[in-house]
Amino acid sequence: MSTQTPNKRLTTRDIAAMRQRGEAVAMLTAYDATMAALVDMSGADMILVGDSLGNVVLGHETTLPVTLDDMIRHAAAVKRGSHRALLVCDMPFGSVTNPDSALTNAVRIMKETGVEAVKLEGGIAMVPTVEKLVAHGIAVVAHIGLTPQHVHQMGGYYMHGKDEASAGRLREEARALEAAGAFAIVLECVTPALAAEITHMLTIPTIGIGSGKDCAGQVLVINDLIGLNTSPPPSFARPRADVAGMVRKAVGEYVAETKAERGPIPLVRRVD
């Protein structure tokens, strides 16, 4: 947990300082005000309003159907529920097709939600977009490796950086995105050895997810962390609780008690 005072919203300068002094960055997702408040009170340094809400909240198979309006609605709720963590909002599929449209959409996110930064997926192709956003005062988190918005192009979900061609591309992308002005970079499902190499290579923090323990920080989907799922979590996520089991138990008891306590309810006969 950071040493910052509880009432102070963390900034990109605070995150940079954490990297410089070797303090790990703890990041989690949240999609509503209540969960944001709980994550915030528990000491998370950054909260990501991820487009993973498409899978976790909205029931889609991928993140692709998530809209800009979806992200804005949920990010605004997270802002209302939190007071300390630096907030990052994902830019959804189709919102960063070119630097100009990305800037328009990012400005809308910033104005309508109050978050401190946006996150966008992609490597070299995203460099001009990152530069454009940063030049207009928008803090950016980059995201390489497994990028769920490109799942069909990539051919599924798998570990990245296994061969030298893939590893070389990821190194190049990381350097370019840092040079473009990103203040942090998510490494998703990158081989641990390569993730460690990239972390040591950059001055900005790397935020790993499924990329081993040697990144400068880590992010997880909150539902995977607390066991609030109806299907198994990813192999790299170790649930710390069984909230889904607690919910099933509580609801089951409520249903049973409601039916038992009221017994047969007399039928109200209609009088014509």
List for the chain the helix, strand, coil content (%; round to 5): 45, 15, 40
Nearest partner of 233 among 207, 206, 208, 209, judged by Cα? 209
Whether 188 contacts 145, CB under 8 Å = yes
- 23 noted as active-site residue: no
Nearest partner of 78 among 30, 123, 23, 16, judged by Cα? 30
Residue type, 9: R
pLDDT per residue as tens, the chain (272 positions):
444 444 689 999 999 999 999 999 999 999 999 999 999 999 999 999 999 999 999 999 999 999 999 999 999 999 999 999 999 999 999 999 999 999 999 999 999 999 999 999 999 999 999 999 999 999 999 999 999 999 998 888 889 999 999 999 999 999 999 999 999 999 999 999 999 999 999 999 999 999 999 999 999 999 999 999 998 998 899 999 999 999 999 999 999 999 888 878 788 777 66
Whether 214 contacts 203, CB under 8 Å = no
Residue type, 145: G
Catalytic residue among 116, 173, 178, 188: 188
Rounded CA-CA distance 4/115 in Å is 19
Residue type, 66: V
What pTM value is reported for the model? 0.93
Spell 71-103 as b/e; 16+ CB within 10 A means b: bbbbbbbbbebbebbbbbbbbbbebbeebeebb
CATH class of 12-243: alpha beta
pLDDT score recorded for residue 265: 78
Nearest partner of 74 among 12, 84, 63, judged by Cα? 63
